[in-house]
Structure 1
Amino acid sequence: MSSYTVLLAEDSDFITQHVSQTLESEHGFEIETVTSASETRDTLAESDFDCVVSTYELPDETGIELAESINGDGDEVPFVLFTGNPLEPLAEEALEAGVSAFVSKSSGATGGMDVFANRIRLAIAAGE
């Protein structure tokens, strides 16, 4: 299995630690973490990633605003929105902003991460 590099934007230390450790140890991803939208953009300017995973509620803007800002210039990066909010009200706006896939925190952050890892792989494959 090839190793994908993923940039995780999440401001909760608990969720960051759980998600990054599980995706690295059980699914073979290389994870780098940041805590804000501005830090995400700065990190993307310095390094290439196969995918960005972002929580919906970042301290400085929403994950949808972040997706639009990094995918609005035509240089698309697969983007997975990781949220505890109901997905239905966000879906249309998120897809228009360049979000590739969604993962619910209620199922992904506390239980098995197989679905989460699969959504990341599918988002990357769709972008290739």
Structure 2
Amino acid sequence: MAIRVLLVDDDIELLDIARILLQQTDPDLEIVVSSSVKDALEKLENEEFDVIISDYLMPDSSGLDMLEALRAAGDNIGFVIWTGHSKEEVVIKSLNLGADYYILKGEDYRRQFSAIRDIIQNVSKKKSAIKPQTIKQETASKFIHKLSHDVAGITHNIIGYATLLEEENNPDYMKGIGRLLTKLNDRVKTAVSEIDNGELND
């Protein structure tokens, strides 16, 4: 599956070079370019991307402003700052805002874009691994109904044994409660396993 990358830089020629070199390093990368933060944000509203590679300073805004806006909106998209600015405070701020990597522009573009390709793949894998599961409402409703029914049946029987214990201190009643508690624990573990294994996913 192609990884969609949004390249953002106000240097049009550099954007073209970056697009060509990245696609040469990995033909499976789908590269889209933007020459301003405004244009990039408009593209992000209408298209899905896996990773953004953005310059730091641009005429209309900065890559950090875009990063901050995305993170404030809860967007966990992969974000790489690629810039010629090496000031320590900029590096620290970008990482604190949630950038995944900070890369200084170099002279050996072929070598650098090979490294950027690896970074893109790593960021994409990391973000994919933490994407929330999506569950159909109908499937979730059936699952909750079944779980509620099972748990209610077990707890009802526990209450029954507890009522008998109030009337007669019989060890068999305590054993019955113990068996039911084990059964309840197993049912909850099964439910958690079904969710973890993605059995409720679309």
Between Structure 1 and Structure 2, whose CA radius of gyration is higher? 2
Q: Which residue of 1 is the match for residue 82 of structure 2?
A: 82
State the shift of 1:111 in Å. Answer: 3.7
**SS of equivalent residue, structure 1 residue 66:** helix
The answer on whether the counterparts of 1:65 and 1:97 sit within 8 Å (CA) in structure 2 is no
Q: What amino acid is the match of 2:47?
A: S
| CA distance in structure 2 between the aligned counterparts of 1:71 and 1:85, rounded to whole angstroms | 22
State the shift of 1:44 in Å. Answer: 0.3
CA RMSD of aligned residues (A): 1.5
The aligned runs of 1:5-44 (5 Å cut-off) are 5-28=4-27, 29-44=29-44
- Sequence identity, in percent? 22
The aligned runs of 1:1-128 (5 Å cut-off) are 2-28=1-27, 29-86=29-86, 88-107=88-107, 110-112=109-111, 113-128=113-128
Deviations 1:48-96 (A, max 9, x none): 0011110011221111111111221112111010010115322221122
In structure 2, list runs of 5 or more residues that go unmatched. 129-202
Structure 1 runs of 4+ with >6 Å offset:
none
Change (3 A) 1:80 1:107: farther
In structure 1, list runs of 5 or more residues that go unmatched. none
**SS of equivalent residue, structure 1 residue 6:** strand
State the shift of 1:6 in Å. Answer: 0.3
When normalised by structure 1's length, the TM-score is 0.89
| CA distance in structure 2 between the aligned counterparts of 1:103 and 1:27, rounded to whole angstroms | 19
Tell me which of the two structures has the higher relative contact order, counting C-alpha pairs closer than 8 angstroms and 6 or more residues apart: 1
| CA distance in structure 2 between the aligned counterparts of 1:100 and 1:87, rounded to whole angstroms | 17
| CA distance in structure 1 between the aligned counterparts of 2:93 and 2:126, rounded to whole angstroms | 19
Change (3 A) 1:107 1:100: farther
The answer on whether the counterparts of 2:51 and 2:79 sit within 8 Å (CA) in structure 1 is yes
| CA distance in structure 2 between the aligned counterparts of 1:106 and 1:61, rounded to whole angstroms | 23
| CA distance in structure 1 between the aligned counterparts of 2:49 and 2:12, rounded to whole angstroms | 21
Between Structure 1 and Structure 2, which shows a larger proportion of strand residues?
Answer: 1
Aligned residues: 126
| CA distance in structure 1 between the aligned counterparts of 2:8 and 2:25, rounded to whole angstroms | 20
Q: What amino acid is the match of 2:69?
A: S
State the shift of 1:123 in Å. Answer: 1.6
State the shift of 1:107 in Å. Answer: 4.8
